[in-house]
Homo-oligomer: A and B are copies of this chain.
Amino acid sequence: MNKIPEKTIERMILYRRLLLGIQNNETNNIFSHQLAAMAGVTSAQLRKDLTPTGYYGSPVHGYDITQLMDSISEIIDAPQMQNVALAGLGHLGRAVLDYSQGRRPKLQIIAAFDTDPGKINRAIHGCRCYHTDEIEKVIKENNITVGILAVPVDEAQEIADRMVNAGIRGLLNYAPMQLKLPNDVYVENRDMIMAVEKAAYFARQSVKGKEGKVHESLS
């Protein structure tokens, strides 16, 4: 399997979700320009993105929706189940849990961590909450490889270190700081403060009525 560009992966995830949404409609097929319009990309972009799947559409009928979904899933889903751990059950952690609820069968948040005694040993959406002290134990025992960091900034580095030591290979970081972690661990930063500042900056660049979009940022 060749290395697939990061941006392509992001869009594949989007394409699959869009396809899922139009499944069971009257039609079983879709053309590249239709799906591209839903995703907000050009049809050429979409077709190039699909190259790594090896799935070929027909110039006459376009793509078979189900087959295309499956082909994309082969790439972006793990062969077996992938377990996820969530650190921090404040407002943000709860939001993450709510959003992720029942989305992907192959990818589930099976454990959450917090220090609040009122939350420990309770389950939300089928996800059990443990005390932060148990991070290492729970991650190892359940073979969890993906982590979500939703703790306050001042705890973020320590918790991240512990998660990585316990076996986390990919980390989604919501703390507004730059984590120092081994190079072989993937980190996806979702800095909420930066996001607002960025939106504000580009809001100023956006001149009303000017055609040709300011530009848009996926993911």
Is residue A137 within 8 Å, beta carbon to beta carbon, of the partner chain? no
Are B107 and A183 in contact, with the CB atoms below 8 A?
Answer: no
Are A186 and B76 in contact, with the CB atoms below 8 A?
Answer: no
In the docked arrangement, what's the CA distance between A99 and B178, Å?
16
Are A188 and B199 in contact, with the CB atoms below 8 A?
Answer: yes
Are A107 and B200 in contact, with the CB atoms below 8 A?
Answer: yes
Is residue A159 within 8 Å, beta carbon to beta carbon, of the partner chain? no
Interface range, A side: 35 or more
A9-B201, A10-B198, A170-B206 are known contacts. Are A103 and B193 too (CB-CB below 8 A)? yes
Binds B, one of A43-51, A54-62, A88-96, A127-135: A88-96
Pick from B99, B183, B203: contact of A82, CB under 8 Å: B203
Q: Which residues of B contact A71 (CB under 8 A)?
A: none
Is residue A122 within 8 Å, beta carbon to beta carbon, of the partner chain? no
What are 26 A-to-B residue pairs whose CB atoms are below 8 Å? A6-B215, A9-B198, A14-B194, A17-B176, A76-B201, A84-B200, A90-B95, A95-B95, A99-B192, A100-B193, A107-B196, A109-B196, A145-B200, A145-B203, A146-B203, A170-B204, A183-B211, A184-B206, A184-B207, A184-B211, A186-B202, A186-B206, A186-B215, A187-B217, A189-B218, A190-B192
Contacts from A to B (Cβ < 8 Å): 6, 9-10, 13-14, 17-18, 38-40, 76, 78, 82, 84, 90-92, 94-96, 98-100, 103-104, 107, 109, 145-148, 168-172, 176, 178, 183-219
- Not counting A99-B192, A186-B216, a sample of 16 additional A-B residue pairs whose C-beta atoms are within 8 angstroms of each other reads A17-B193, A78-B204, A91-B91, A91-B92, A107-B196, A145-B200, A145-B204, A146-B200, A146-B203, A170-B202, A172-B196, A185-B214, A187-B217, A189-B216, A194-B219, A198-B219
